[in-house]
Structure 1
Amino acid sequence: MGRLKSMPSRLGALPSRVKAMPKVADRFYQSPEWRAYRDQHRQWTKARQGGVWCCVCGSTHRLILDHREERKDGGADLPAFDKMDWYCTAHHNAKTAEARARRARGGR
């Protein structure tokens, strides 16, 4: 009697029936208060370390100022300067995805 060969799954080829929610920018990040805070933080960082770069990889391109404790997790809107970090886009997206996954797991 011959061996049964495993059949490849066809489920991976099915299209998703649930569409991703469109990204909606938080209005807070368009506010004059946030823009002024970000500019002040950039000047503070330049004075403190001589420039502004990603705290993970050192890149100086497309930097985003990010809360260490996310606003959705109870962080302040405009915390002390030492409670914020600059990230390049790639590392900011990774950090945000990790925080989102942590919230989805119930904070673990």
Structure 2
Amino acid sequence: MSSRKKAVLTCMRPLVGVLDTSIAKEPPKRADGFYTSPEWRALMASIKRKRPHCCEQCGRTGTRLFGDHIQELKDGGAPLDENNVQLLCGSCHTAKTARARAERYKQEY
């Protein structure tokens, strides 16, 4: 047996003690609940049955697809018009949304 003592760090305390996960709530997807409405979900189900399961911009398959308004709602796009919705992968959806926001910002200022 070794006569060495184990070193104990007493100067560092944990930054977070205990997290009470029983009170945690999932944040709402959108304040108005449009994207969780039965109407939107029914439209998306219909679109996914009719169209190939791939990104309509880059063709990527095997990934989650997002229903994206071609003309965004903030820009006057029809919310439940099948012709105003495209299926995009996460990367294409993020890039398209960023471009639309940048364009909207430019027009405002």
TM tier relative to shorter chain: 0.5 to 0.7
User: Is 1:70 aligned with 2:72?
Assistant: yes
Letter in 2 for 1:64: F
What letter matches 1:69 in structure 2? Q
Give the structure 2 partner of residue 40 of structure 1. Answer: 46
Supply the RMSD in Å over aligned alpha carbons: 2.0
> Which residue in the other structure is 1:6 paired with?
none
**Identity within the alignment, %:** 41
In 2, the alpha carbon distance for the partners of 1:33 and 1:107 equals 31
- Structure 1 gap ranges (5+): 1-22, 46-50
- Deviations along 1:30-74, whole A, 9 cap, x unmatched? 1111111100111121xxxxx221112211211111111101100
Match runs of 1:6-21 below 5 Å? none
Distance 1:84 1:36, change over 3 A: same
> Structure 1-normalised TM-score?
0.66
1:50-107, Cα deviation, whole Å (9 max, x unpaired): x22111221121111111110110001101x233211100000000001011111116
Q: Aligned AA for 2:29?
A: A
Structure 2: where are the runs of 5+ without partners?
1-26
Equivalent of 2:35 in 23, 29, 41: 29
Alignment-derived partner of residue 104 in structure 1: 105
Aligned pair count?
A: 80
Of structures 1 and 2, the larger Rg is shown by: 2
- Cα gap change, 1:107/1:86 in structure 2, threshold over 3 Å: closer, same or farther? farther
Q: Find runs of 4+ consecutive structure 1 residues off by over 4 angstroms.
A: none
Report the counterpart of residue 84 of structure 2 in structure 1: 83
